[in-house]
Amino acid sequence: MSEHAERYVRLALRLARHDEGVVESYYGPPEMASDVDAELLTSPIDLVAEADRLLADLPDAWLRDQVVGLRARAGLLAGERWSYADEVEACFGVRPTLTDEATLRAAYQRLETLLPGPGSLRDRYQAWERATQVPADKVPAVVDAVVEESRAHARRVFGLPEGEGFDVEYLSGQGWLAFHEYLGGLRAHVSVNTDLPRSGVELLHTVLHETYAGHHAESCLKEVALVRGRGLLEQAIVVVPTAQSLLSEGLAELGPSLLLDGEHRARYEAVVRDAGVDIDLAHDRAVAAAVEPVLRIQADAGQLLHAEGWSEDAVLGYLRQWALVDDLLLDHVLRFVADPANRGYVVCYPEGLVRCRQYVDGDLARFTTLLTEQVRVGDLSASL
């Protein structure tokens, strides 16, 4: 156990006593968490100083990127004033940019070809989503079947440790679509939000994102390779406002395409068809790919709200103009980006995806590297 890693973990656990959203999971030595809980509460100002001292001692490497994110969150809690762009860059290693309208118009043109017919494109897109929705009472069975298929598939493609697994819970009233909480010991808890209807392709993507070859696969493989294999304590904690999140969300967004677009596509299609949904996975994946630039404006909402000074009504109007999805999801997006704890996190999905996709470039070995090694956001960005 390195001194720097121990200082990092203690810093994160101390900061989490002020903001419970800082640490998503911890499965390191339990006595370390107990010791921090028994301490007098460290003030955010003192945590800033603690982070600065640790940064001065760290080389330019993965752990330093993590501490930069913690330093930013501690500074905000201590009353420092940060611009939205500076906060996002410090935490996640990328500077947010707005999607230009030329990109959106080009995406619209591709969608016009894939979703022809009368009415506005927004109406046609939403009609396509409704036509391919998985009935609410069928969702658990589809989730179970997708997990079974993807576990076997990911084991063949990437390798999974024996004994891994998770339980699934269905909840409502949450700020996320789904959530993976890693418990350590190759076990996890996956929650699925039941408030929002899902098309077949969206449900497939969500399940694979949270499980194989997304968050659960990454967590298990890194526990085996990095925590058990190399004794890296810093990997036994998931710290949310850090570069770790951008890479994790990026690979989890990319992972489903490596399974769904391959030779096993028919098996996943059959899983959804068994729920009574008439899905054409090749076509629906093409629609999902074409709409990807449009969905990026959900991340733009955070910048418009917090950096450009737009009102929530103005941001919602912009989303309605371009985003194609229904108002229920747009309201959900706006609540998420308006939350101070989450306002920068939304950038992790599109920016992580584009960087991970370029880094992997179709090479499964490089994707396996993302699943098993401490790859820095700078390494991803260098591939752009």
Domain boundaries, the chain: 3-81, 101-382
Whole-model pTM: value is: 0.95
Closest CA to 361 of 333, 382, 376: 382
Q: Which pLDDT score is estimated for 348?
A: 96
The alpha carbon of residue 56 and the mean position of all alpha carbons in its chain are separated, in whole angstroms, by: 30
CB atoms within 10 A of CB 116: 8
Q: Reply yes or no on whether the pLDDT at 171 is more than 70.
A: yes
Mean pLDDT along residues 107-132: 95
Tokens matching residue 145: 């079947």
Average pLDDT, the chain: 94
Q: Which pLDDT score is estimated for 1?
A: 63
Stated length of the chain: 384
- Residue-wise DSSP of 270-284: HHHHTTT----HHHH
Q: Phi and psi at residue 312, in whole multiples of 5°?
A: -60, -35
Q: Which pLDDT score is estimated for 101?
A: 92
Residue type, 255: G
Closest CA to 88 of 297, 374, 340: 340
Q: Which pLDDT score is estimated for 301?
A: 93
Tokens matching residue 295: 């969905």
Q: Reply yes or no on whether the pLDDT at 373 is more than 90.
A: yes
CB atoms within 10 A of CB 35: 12
Q: Which pLDDT score is estimated for 332?
A: 83
Q: Which pLDDT score is estimated for 383?
A: 76
The answer to whether 35 and 9 have CB atoms below 8 angstroms apart is no
The answer to whether 16 and 39 have CB atoms below 8 angstroms apart is no
Closest CA to 244 of 50, 53, 28, 68: 68
pLDDT in tens, 294-320: 889 989 999 999 999 999 999 999 999
What is the C-alpha separation between 38 and 29, in angstroms, rounded? 15
pLDDT in tens, 89-119: 999 999 999 999 999 999 999 999 999 999 9
The alpha carbon of residue 81 and the mean position of all alpha carbons in its chain are separated, in whole angstroms, by: 26
What is the C-alpha separation between 311 and 334, in angstroms, rounded? 11
Mean pLDDT along residues 168-172: 92
Tally helices (H) and strands (E) across the chain: 20, 5
Q: Which pLDDT score is estimated for 195?
A: 83
What is the C-alpha separation between 128 and 126, in angstroms, rounded? 5
320 vs 103, 152, 298, 325, 328, CA distance in Å? Answer: 17, 40, 11, 8, 11
- Residue-wise DSSP of 44-82: HHHHHHHHHHHHHH--SSHHHHHHHHHHHHHHHHTT---
pLDDT bracket for residue 209 (50, 70, 90): very high
Q: Which pLDDT score is estimated for 72?
A: 97
Q: Which pLDDT score is estimated for 295?
A: 85
